[in-house]
């Protein structure tokens, strides 16, 4: 059986080589590129994720996906290459090149990744209300208040890929803290001479704070010095890698785009073809009201009437007609869904045909994030 994660990791390696080539061909001059391997952390997921959780594209769904503490955005740009809408977040004061690197790479790649500056040590506001997944690599021990950030993430992201430094011993190499839910507060120059380092947890401490911040640990492993790790010595560095699922959002609706969707534009919306489909999972009730918002462009309507048909798991829904362009909704009562996953197929009878300026068939404009709330119980 093919491992879907193995294919993504192979693609990540190729994308990383492409990024390196772009950086070497475009030396920034006035600032340094971030020197550490961001995509390598993604590749380590292959070594420990459970077989049931290795189809990351299914986890990402319609997105958006969050890259928190994004550095130069390498991971964010790779996730975008997979078709995800991505928000890259960091704070210029603690970013090594004041976020000029991620902005420059976005320009060089012609990327649509959204870049946001947020101080995670403040009462910050994430760019979106909901993320299918968040990547939080190497940022936890740089926070003054990790509890608040983890709680806020649990309210916004259903899944979280996290890594952080952990320790089995205190710096004296005598006091064993493995098994105790504790954290060590490092001094401003004690760890790599970096004043932005704060809390280094024991593995038990990390599990405790994750649990109290409303996360379930689905998979966890440590890499590095697993014998006598401590919070301060470079040779005693041990890292925990986790896949977490939010108890706040567990069971929420998840969306996977199927056929008939064009590429993401402006990080938020997509053109559909005349016929398009979506798989919706996480359904809780046999009956639900479907409310699908969309935009009907005047160029598609062109003074005519558009008729939109749909099926749910093969069962026809009442067709609906639209005579005015602009913001519209497809509304229908769904019966007999059961629980689990439903496949919704839509078909419009009008669309823009491919032409010399755009080779795509275009019918409706939809924000994939709206699909998450399309079923009302």
Which domain, by its residues, includes 242?
Answer: 4-246
Task: Please give the tally of structural domains in the chain.
Answer: 2
Which CATH number goes with the domain that contains 283?
A: 2.60.120.260
Supply the pLDDT for residue 248. Answer: 76
Single out the residue in 214, 246, 278 at which a domain terminates: 246
Same domain assignment for residues 197 and 268: no
Supply the pLDDT for residue 45. Answer: 96
- The total of other beta-carbon atoms located within 10 Å of residue 200's CB is 29
Answer whether 0.75 is exceeded by the pTM.
Answer: no
Q: What is the C-alpha separation between 282 and 341, in angstroms, rounded?
A: 7
Ordered per-residue pLDDT tens for the chain, 377 residues? 689 999 999 999 999 999 999 999 999 888 999 988 889 999 999 999 999 999 999 899 878 999 999 999 999 999 999 999 999 999 999 999 999 999 999 999 999 999 999 999 998 989 988 898 999 999 999 999 999 999 999 988 989 999 999 999 999 999 999 999 999 999 999 998 989 999 999 999 999 999 999 899 999 999 999 999 999 999 999 999 999 999 877 656 677 889 999 988 876 789 999 999 998 876 766 677 889 999 999 999 999 999 999 999 899 999 999 999 999 999 998 887 766 678 999 999 999 999 999 999 999 999 887 887 787 76
Single out the residue in 197, 226, 246 at which a domain terminates: 246
Same domain assignment for residues 319 and 239: no
Inter-residue contact 340 to 280 (CB < 8 Å): no
Which CATH number goes with the domain that contains 224?
A: 3.40.50.150
Measured on CA atoms in the order 360, 361, 365, 371, is the torsion positive or negative? negative
Instruction: Output b/e per residue, 293-310; b: 16+ Cβ within 10 A.
Output: ebebeeebbeeeebebbb
User: Is the preceding peptide bond at 64 cis, omega within 30 degrees of 0?
Assistant: yes
Q: What is the C-alpha separation between 134 and 101, in angstroms, rounded?
A: 21
Tokens representing 80 are 């975008």
């Amino acid at each position: 059986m093919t491992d879907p994660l193995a294919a993504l990791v192979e693609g990540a390696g190729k994308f990383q080589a492409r990024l390196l080539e772009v950086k070497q061909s475009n030396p920034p001059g006035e600032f340094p590129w971030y020197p550490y391997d961001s995509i390598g952390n993604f590749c380590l997921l292959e070594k420990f994720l459970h077989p049931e959780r290795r189809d990351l594209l299914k986890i990402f769904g319609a997105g958006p996906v969050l890259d928190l503490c994004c550095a130069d955005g390498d991971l964010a740009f790779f996730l975008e290459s997979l078709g995800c809408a991505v928000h890259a977040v960091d704070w210029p004061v603690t970013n090594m090149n004041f976020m000029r690197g991620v902005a420059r790479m976005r320009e060089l790649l012609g990327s649509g990744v959204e870049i946001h500056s947020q101080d995670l040590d403040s009462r910050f506001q994430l760019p979106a209300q909901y993320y299918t997944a968040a990547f939080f690599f190497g940022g936890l021990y740089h926070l003054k208040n990790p509890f608040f950030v983890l709680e806020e993430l649990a309210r916004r992201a259903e899944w979280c890929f996290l890594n952080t430094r952990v320790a089995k011993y205190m710096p004296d190499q005598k006091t064993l803290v493995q098994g105790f839910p504790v954290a060590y507060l490092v001094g401003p120059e004690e760890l790599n001479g970096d004043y932005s380092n704060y809390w280094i947890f024991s593995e038990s401490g990390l599990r405790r704070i994750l649990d109290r911040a409303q996360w379930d640990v689905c998979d966890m492993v440590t890499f590095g010095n697993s014998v006598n790790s401590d919070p301060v010595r470079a040779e005693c560095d041990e890292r925990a890698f986790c896949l977490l699922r939010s108890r706040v959002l567990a069971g929420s609706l998840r969306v996977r785009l199927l056929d008939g969707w064009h590429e993401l534009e402006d990080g938020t919306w997509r053109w559909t073809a005349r016929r398009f489909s979506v798989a919706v999972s996480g359904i809780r009730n046999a009956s639900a009201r479907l409310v699908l918002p969309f935009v009907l462009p005047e160029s598609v309507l062109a003074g005519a009437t558009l008729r939109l048909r749909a099926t749910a798991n093969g069962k026809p829904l009442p067709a609906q007609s639209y005579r005015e362009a602009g913001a519209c909704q497809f509304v229908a009562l769904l019966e007999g869904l059961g629980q689990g996953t439903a496949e919704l197929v839509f078909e419009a009878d009008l669309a823009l045909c491919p032409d010399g300026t755009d080779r795509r068939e275009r019918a409706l404009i939809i924000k994939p994030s709206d699909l998450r709330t399309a079923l009302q119980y």
